[in-house]
Amino acid sequence: MPTAAMTAIFAKKYGCDSELTSILIFATFISSCITMFMMIILLS
């Protein structure tokens, strides 16, 4: 199971702020997509 999904599951299971966790996971995903796109441009 992917690490990001496990983070959200653990947050919900242990009573943490699962909404904030989901937002942060999504923000990390978007920033990694931007980073990969920029690396492709810079290394081509």
The secondary structure element, H or E, covering residue 6 is helix 3-13
* Calculated CA dihedral for residues 13, 17, 20, 26, nearest 10 degrees: 0
Assess whether pLDDT exceeds 80 at residue 1.
no
Confidence of residue 24 (pLDDT cuts 50, 70, 90): very high
d(CA 17, CA 44): 41
Domain count, the chain: 1
Assess whether pLDDT exceeds 90 at residue 21.
yes
- Over residues 11-38, the mean pLDDT reads 94
C-alpha distances out from residue 25 to 13, 14, 22, 28, Å = 17, 17, 5, 5
pTM of the entire structure? 0.75
Range of the domain at 23: 3-43
> pLDDT of 26-39, one tens digit each?
999 999 999 999 99
